[in-house]
Amino acid sequence: MTKFIDLTLSGISTGAIYAAVALALVLIWRSTRVVNFAQGAMLMFTTFIASAVINSGGSYVLGFVVALCSGFVLGAIVERVIVRPVESAPPLNAVILTLGLYTLIVAIAGMIWGNTPRSFPAAFSLHGYTVGGTTLLFTPNDTFIVLVVIAVAAALAFLFRATSLGLRMRGAAFAPEVARLLGVRVGRMLTLGWALAAMVGSLAGVLVAPSVFLGPNSFDPILIIGFVAAVLGGLDSPPGAVVGGLVLGLALSYVSGYEGSSLVPLAALVILVVVLMFRPTGLFSATKERRV
């Protein structure tokens, strides 16, 4: 029973991280109809930058802020320079392009920082809370993770629903022609959408790094799982991404606890395939017709 509670609690904390990755993917999909397969590499890169800042004497907070800012800049550059030309091309081109970007960023990180994984500090203690004499697997750092992700999700919801900037971003994503006629700088909004998404992704990178070690390839499973979470949520819906992330976090925590952590990516694949078999466009999405 204690194990079950432990797994549930740690599932909530990893689920929050998956939710952040899924949010990053969903924000980009909504604005540009591109699944950013480079997301895992981008958040790895910004986490390495944070690690470099912290190792050269900066505080954790400074590293955290630097990671978010570099994520914002990286997202904007990637959209403006690399993704913009293929936004109107067949979807396969964008898939291959972002995979190429993934490969390139992983290689560059390996060139700069080497392929040996290194440790990354956590914001708060990694010793679990003690309740009635038993130590839980849930730590102060997990509380921090969950609270930060909730805060970010709430801030994004506020941005998109209650501000004029959010309205313009939604307009640029859903009806670019009309939005352009109404004076919205559509290109700029798309760049901003990518930048925000990459910032959320880099947040997930900093949060997850203490538990997986930091190396060029160590975030590959996180990307896959984030993608599965986004698909569970329908790829189009930010609340769906958060729910998908939490559900998947719990499910994979049980798989990892009871069956072994090596099966986690495979379990994510099974969940993905089962969901897509019955709802080919995700759990939370509306049915859409395909056109001739």
Partner 1 sequence: MTSRPLVIVRESTLLRSLAIVAVAGVVLIIVTDSLDSYRNLQLAYGGYYFCVLAGLTVLAGSSGQISLGQGAFMAVGAYTFCKLNAAPVAWSVFPSLVGAVVATVLVGIPVGAAASRLRGPYLAGATLAFAVGLPALADKFPAFLGGENGLSVNPPTPPSWLGANFPLERWEAWIACAGALIVVFVLYNLTHSAIGRSWRAVRDDEIAAALAGLRVGRRQTLAFVVSAACAGLGGGLLAAVLQLTSPGAFPLQLSLTLLAGVVIGGLGSLIGAVWGAALLVFLPNWTNDLANSFSLSGNVSHNLPIAIYGVVLIGAMLVWPSGIQGGLRAIGRAVRPAVSGRSGPAASEPPKEQAESTTGEGVKASRP
Q: By the criterion CB under 8 A, which residues form the site for partner 1?
A: 29, 34-35, 37, 82, 85-86, 89, 91-97, 99-108, 110-115, 216-217, 220-221, 224, 227-228, 231, 235, 260, 262-269, 272-273, 276-277, 280-281, 290-292
Complex with partner 1: residue 103 or 134, whichever CB lies closer: 103
Helix (H, G, I), strand (E, B) or coil at 281: coil
- Assess contact for 108 and 243: CB atoms under 8 A: no
Q: How far is the CB of 181 from partner 1 (least distance, A)?
A: 29
DSSP string, 194-209: HHHHHHHHHHHHHHHH
Beta bridge partners of 135: 130
Q: How far is the CB of 83 from partner 1 (least distance, A)?
A: 10
Instruction: Give the CB-side neighbour count of residue 10, counting CA atoms within 13 A.
Output: 18
Complex with partner 1: residue 66 or 224, whichever CB lies closer: 224
Q: How far is the CB of 197 from partner 1 (least distance, A)?
A: 15
Nearest to 247 by CA among 22, 63, 82, 80: 22
Complex with partner 1: residue 17 or 146, whichever CB lies closer: 17
Burial (0-12, 13-18, 19+ Cβ within 10 Å), 190: buried
Q: How far is the CB of 27 from partner 1 (least distance, A)?
A: 15
Complex with partner 1: residue 22 or 122, whichever CB lies closer: 22
Q: How far is the CB of 259 from partner 1 (least distance, A)?
A: 8
Alpha-carbon gap, residue 200 to 149, rounded angstroms: 9
Q: How far is the CB of 229 from partner 1 (least distance, A)?
A: 11
- Pairing outcome for strands 134-135 and 130-131: antiparallel
- Assess contact for 87 and 38: CB atoms under 8 A: no
Complex with partner 1: residue 73 or 95, whichever CB lies closer: 95
Complex with partner 1: residue 29 or 138, whichever CB lies closer: 29
